[in-house]
């Protein structure tokens, strides 16, 4: 009875223990499954959130009608526009009569007429670039009136009120251009606080340039203008259009399908510098207009073609060259450029409104609004609001206001990944330049140099880290004694705990100057170190057995420590002599002047070494575990069959461990691709595409870290940075997927060993 009671008790305890283990196993299974599922869900959420932020940059523009106003004036329009808040619309006629309308009600708020002297008529008129909202009237007595459109904001009775008025930046009195009183038949001008220039044609057909230089009087604090005049030589007989650039250094005269370009910055040495043939496929030019910034010309043809020109350096200096073209359905009679971006809008004779952007070469919007009962046929004037969120079109004696939603016109797939020809550049290039101090700056958001820099940094890091990490892992796992391995493996693995910001700090402030000052020694070290190690191993192999037995097998690898220290010291010691003998005393100047290569102190060599130290622990730890985990019976069986230790290593151990070794390399590559702080601190962060080891780079991760705090939320810059993060996400996903696929195939192939 006693034995049976004890046995029953044991069975009860066993059943109770089994139930507890089953519950724990079940609970662990649920927790692991739930954790894995949550990780997968988190990755999906990151993926879709990135897409959610990125998507708007690829959307087109949206233009919707707001109001149509019946105009009061009958004279031809010179310019149309609005205030910044799109509450007041204006129309200025070629006779200097301005009408101001409410954008909400369409009612006439006020009308103003430029005060012209009695007995004088307006003969000609001209406008400046859109952002200045200036116009000038050429008079019959040889004078000119310079007038601007201003909007004053006030708050009577706590109610916001916008009042439109004329301003006279050069004074209310007319400016005399022709002392003989000849009528101003054609006119072009521009104005700044320090200088204003007027180009005009008199009644005899002679073209003149009058320049007024302003200087502030120290006593009265008033600007005093000093006038100078000159005749423009070699002008065409018939001129249909005249344009002066805002910098007042160039004059453009269009005669039929030819554009005459004059250099007018020196009034005493005016010269014709280029005659541009605009004729294309037997078409005729309708108009020439300036893009924002006045660096580009938009040439409109009667077949719907619009071409962009800007100056490019060549054998004859900077001359205008055809860059890109746009095709619309009908003939574009009127074109309006945005104030500060490189976009423009046009309306053809049939009333189709088209919105385009030059750099991205995108057609953002195209529609005929007849379906919305808005008739834009035979347009006479068009203009953007200052913030480019509204468009004003005059047609059929009506003023039409459109709301414009066009947040990201400068971004397109081709602009981010293909070469783009930017204004001022000699050829199409990959460029990342997101900010500038200029109002009319054109953002250059090419991701190609950033992706290139990411791969370049990872490549040089892997070239440095992979041989060292794999060789160290093989020796540690297969040849090293257990005592030494117990010290070496944790020491290398603890290197992974070093903050990368510390490695980047050391690389930027200590390693980069060291490499620059001892470049011949560094290069010599890369050659002598492996040769010295191999030589030491060969000498050790040839030593008599009695000499070898004096040092226990456990500590044989420690013999390399003095060799490594000596070779390092020797390489740096002979560096000055090598620099004198082979590099003329200055290796940096030799690389720059003789080899024609750019040398940056913080370059790919420094990044490769610093990032290599960050990657080595990852590769070493995984590869060493894979090699050490190869079953001993496989290597023992190979040795028992007569294979040498080297044959066993290369044909049995490494093949069996190859899935883990490949995973180690790919994990290291993923770590290198995503590294931020080292490349941020150890490179010049220049977005260039050069494989040279002596030049720096800018990576996707470093670019995000640098520019994300500065970007405006919701801007194109902000969303493109998220796109860069998405590209980085895809990079790591692809690398990890490739690693897993290859690892599985290697495991299947060598599992039978």
Q: In terms of domains, do 283 and 356 share one?
A: yes
- State residue 137 phi and psi, 5-degree precision: -120, 125
Whether residue 309 contacts residue 322, with contact meaning beta carbons closer than 8 Å, is answered with yes
d(CA 115, CA 314): 48
- How many Cβ atoms from other residues are within 10 Å of residue 547's Cβ? 9
Determine the pLDDT at residue 745. 79
Whether residue 256 contacts residue 241, with contact meaning beta carbons closer than 8 Å, is answered with no
Q: In terms of domains, do 351 and 479 share one?
A: no
Q: In terms of domains, do 168 and 110 share one?
A: yes
Inside any domain, residue 2: no
d(CA 301, CA 330): 10
Whether residue 327 contacts residue 282, with contact meaning beta carbons closer than 8 Å, is answered with no
Inside any domain, residue 13: no
Q: What is the CATH number of the domain that holds 183?
A: 2.130.10.10
d(CA 709, CA 721): 11
Give which of 296, 301, 297 is closest to 280, Cα–Cα: 301
Whether residue 743 contacts residue 663, with contact meaning beta carbons closer than 8 Å, is answered with yes
Q: How confident is the model at residue 649 (pLDDT cuts 50, 70, 90)?
A: confident
Min mean pLDDT across 3-12, 510-519, 693-702 is at: 3-12
Higher pLDDT, 745 or 302: 302
- How many Cβ atoms from other residues are within 10 Å of residue 55's Cβ? 11
DSSP 8-state code for residue 407: S
Determine the pLDDT at residue 157. 81
- How far are the Cα atoms of 57, 327, 483, 490, 616 from residue 487, in angstroms, in the given order? 54, 72, 7, 6, 17
Whether residue 244 contacts residue 189, with contact meaning beta carbons closer than 8 Å, is answered with yes
d(CA 628, CA 478): 7
Q: In terms of domains, do 479 and 359 share one?
A: no
d(CA 707, CA 680): 12
Inside any domain, residue 21: no
Q: In terms of domains, do 383 and 285 share one?
A: yes
**Nearest-5° Cα angle at 709, 704 to 710:** 100
SS3 at position 287: strand
Give which of 361, 368, 291, 302 is closest to 333, Cα–Cα: 302
Structure tokens, 751: 């599992």
Beta sheet of 271-277, edge-to-edge order:
241-244, 250-255, 258-263, 271-277
Residue 156 β-bridge partners: none
Q: What is the CATH number of the domain that holds 607?
A: 1.10.3720.10
For 37-54, give one letter per residue: b (16+ CB within 10 A) or e. Answer: eeeeeeeeeeeeebeebb
Determine the pLDDT at residue 299. 93
The predicted-structure confidence for 88-112, as pLDDT tens digits, reads as follows 999 999 999 999 999 999 999 999 9
235 pLDDT exceeds 70? yes
Structure tokens, 80: 């149309």
Q: Which domain holds residue 168?
A: 62-417
64 pLDDT exceeds 90? yes
Q: In terms of domains, do 407 and 468 share one?
A: no
Inside any domain, residue 52: no
Q: In terms of domains, do 408 and 486 share one?
A: no
d(CA 135, CA 190): 9
The answer for residues whose C-beta is within 8 angstroms of residue 673's C-beta and 6 or more apart is 454, 455, 458, 701, 728, 731, 732, 735
SS3 at position 58: helix
The predicted-structure confidence for 446-457, as pLDDT tens digits, reads as follows 999 999 999 999
753 pLDDT exceeds 60? no
Give which of 279, 273, 290 is closest to 340, Cα–Cα: 290
Q: In terms of domains, do 477 and 379 share one?
A: no
- How far are the Cα atoms of 1, 93, 95, 116, 227 from residue 173, in angstroms, in the given order? 129, 20, 17, 9, 15
d(CA 140, CA 143): 7
Determine the pLDDT at residue 752. 58
Q: In terms of domains, do 404 and 462 share one?
A: no
Determine the pLDDT at residue 344. 94
Q: In terms of domains, do 278 and 388 share one?
A: yes
Whether residue 134 contacts residue 168, with contact meaning beta carbons closer than 8 Å, is answered with no
3 pLDDT exceeds 70? no
Inside any domain, residue 17: no
Rounded to the nearest integer, the mean pLDDT of the chain is: 87
Inside any domain, residue 299: yes
Q: In terms of domains, do 289 and 140 share one?
A: yes
The predicted-structure confidence for 454-505, as pLDDT tens digits, reads as follows 999 999 999 999 999 999 999 888 888 888 888 888 888 888 888 888 888 8
The answer for residues whose C-beta is within 8 angstroms of residue 618's C-beta and 6 or more apart is 469, 496, 664, 667, 668, 671
Determine the pLDDT at residue 15. 64
Determine the pLDDT at residue 555. 67
- How many Cβ atoms from other residues are within 10 Å of residue 748's Cβ? 10
Total structural domains within the chain = 2
DSSP 8-state code for residue 298: E
d(CA 432, CA 704): 12
d(CA 355, CA 338): 10
Please state the pTM of the whole predicted model.
0.85
Inside any domain, residue 440: no
Inside any domain, residue 25: no
The predicted-structure confidence for 525-574, as pLDDT tens digits, reads as follows 989 998 998 898 888 888 787 777 776 666 677 778 888 899 999 998 99
Determine the pLDDT at residue 102. 92
Dump the DSSP string for 694-728. Answer: TS----HHHHHHHHGGGSPTTSHHHHHHHHHHHHH
d(CA 338, CA 342): 7
d(CA 56, CA 649): 55
d(CA 361, CA 658): 49
The predicted-structure confidence for 600-632, as pLDDT tens digits, reads as follows 888 889 999 999 989 999 999 999 988 988 888
Of the three residues 378, 399, 417, the one that is the final residue of a domain is 417
Determine the pLDDT at residue 26. 86
| Sign of torsion over alpha carbons 315, 316, 318, 322 | negative
| Sign of torsion over alpha carbons 715, 719, 720, 722 | positive
Determine the pLDDT at residue 293. 87
Q: In terms of domains, do 494 and 624 share one?
A: yes
The answer for residues whose C-beta is within 8 angstroms of residue 372's C-beta and 6 or more apart is 65
d(CA 157, CA 383): 33
How far the first Cα of the chain sits from its last, in Å, is: 56
Dump the DSSP string for 186-201. Answer: EEEEEE-SSEEEEEEE
d(CA 355, CA 367): 9
d(CA 363, CA 326): 8
pLDDT (mean) for 167-185: 88
The number of residues making up the chain comes to: 753
pLDDT (mean) for 301-315: 89
């Amino acid at each position: 009875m006693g034995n049976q009671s004890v046995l029953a008790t044991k069975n009860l305890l066993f059943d109770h223990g089994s139930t507890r283990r089953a519950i724990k196993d079940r609970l662990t299974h649920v927790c692991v499954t739930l954790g894995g599922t949550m990780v997968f869900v988190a990755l999906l959420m990151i993926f879709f959130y990135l897409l959610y932020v990125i998507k708007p940059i690829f959307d087109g523009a949206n233009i919707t009608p707001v109001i149509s106003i019946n105009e009061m004036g009958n004279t031809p329009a010179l310019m149309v526009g609005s205030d910044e808040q799109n509450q007041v619309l204006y129309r200025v006629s070629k006779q200097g009569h301005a009408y101001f309308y409410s954008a909400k009600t369409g009612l006439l708020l006020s009308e103003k007429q430029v005060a012209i002297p009695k007995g004088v008529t307006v003969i000609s008129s001209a406008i400046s670039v859109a952002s200045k909202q200036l116009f000038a009237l050429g008079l019959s007595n040889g004078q000119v009136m310079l007038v601007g459109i201003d909007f004053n904001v006030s708050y009577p009775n706590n109610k916001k009120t916008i009042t439109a008025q004329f301003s006279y930046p050069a004074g209310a009195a007319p400016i005399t251009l022709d002392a003989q009183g000849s009528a101003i038949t054609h006119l072009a001008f521009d104005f700044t606080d320090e200088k204003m220039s007027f180009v005009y044609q008199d009644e005899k057909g002679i073209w003149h340039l009058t320049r007024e230089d302003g200087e502030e009087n120290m006593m009265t604090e008033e600007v005093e203008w000093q006038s100078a005049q000159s005749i423009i030589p070699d002008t065409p007989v018939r001129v249909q259009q005249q344009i002066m650039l805002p910098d007042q250094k160039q004059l453009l005269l269009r005669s039929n399908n030819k554009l005459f370009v004059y250099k007018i910055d020196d009034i005493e040495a005016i010269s014709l510098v280029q005659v541009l043939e605009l004729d294309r496929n037997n078409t005729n030019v309708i108009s020439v207009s300036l893009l924002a910034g006045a660096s580009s010309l938009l040439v409109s043809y009667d077949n719907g073609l619009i071409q962009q020109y800007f100056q490019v350096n060549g054998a004859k200096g900077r001359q205008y060259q055809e860059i890109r073209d746009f095709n619309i359905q009908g003939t574009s009679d009127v074109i309006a450029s945005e104030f500060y971006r490189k976009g423009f809008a046009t309306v053809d004779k049939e009333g189709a409104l088209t919105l385009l952007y030059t750099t991205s070469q995108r057609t953002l919007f195209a529609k005929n609004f007849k379906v919305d009962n808005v008739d834009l046929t035979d347009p006479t004037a068009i203009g953007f609001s200052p913030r480019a969120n509204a468009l004003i079109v005059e047609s059929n004696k009506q003023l039409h206001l459109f709301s414009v939603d066009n947040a990201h016109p400068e971004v397109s797939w081709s602009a981010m990944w293909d070469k783009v020809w930017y204004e001022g550049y000699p050829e199409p290039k990959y460029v990342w330049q997101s900010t500038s101090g200029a109002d009319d700056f054109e953002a250059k958001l090419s991701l190609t140099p950033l992706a290139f820099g990411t791969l370049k940094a990872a490549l040089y890091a892997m070239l440095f880290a992979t041989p060292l990490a794999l060789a160290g892992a093989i020796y540690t796992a297969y040849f090293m004694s257990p005592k030494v391995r117990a010290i070496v493996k944790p020491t290398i693995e603890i290197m992974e705990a070093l903050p990368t910001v510390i490695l980047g700090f050391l690389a930027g402030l200590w390693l980069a100057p060291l490499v620059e000052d001892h470049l011949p020694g560094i290069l010599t070290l890369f050659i002598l170190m492996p040769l010295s190690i191999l030589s030491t191993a060969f000498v050790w192999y040839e030593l008599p057995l009695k000499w070898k037995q004096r040092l226990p097998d456990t500590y044989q690898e420690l013999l390399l420590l003095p060799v490594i220290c000596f070779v390092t010291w020797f390489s740096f010691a002979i560096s000055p002599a090598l620099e004198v003998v082979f590099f003329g005393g200055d290796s940096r100047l030799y690389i720059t002047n003789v080899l024609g290569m750019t040398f940056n102190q913080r370059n790919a060599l420094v990044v490769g070494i610093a990032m290599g130290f960050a990657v080595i622990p990852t590769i070493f730890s995984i590869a060493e575990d894979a090699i050490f985990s190869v079953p001993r019976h496989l290597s023992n069986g190979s040795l028992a069959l007569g294979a040498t230790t080297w044959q066993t290593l290369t044909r049995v151990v490494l093949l069996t461990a190859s899935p883990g070794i490949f995973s180690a390399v790919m994990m290291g590559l993923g770590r290198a691709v995503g590294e931020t702080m080292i490349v941020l601190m150890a490179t010049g962060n220049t977005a260039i595409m050069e494989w040279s080891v002596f030049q720096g780079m800018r990576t996707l991760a470093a670019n995000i870290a640098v520019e994300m705090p500065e970007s405006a939320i919701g801007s194109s810059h902000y969303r493109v940075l998220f796109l860069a993060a998405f590209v980085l996400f895809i990079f790591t996903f692809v690398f990890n997927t490739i690693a897993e696929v290859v690892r599985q195939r290697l495991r299947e192939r060598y599992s039978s060993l």
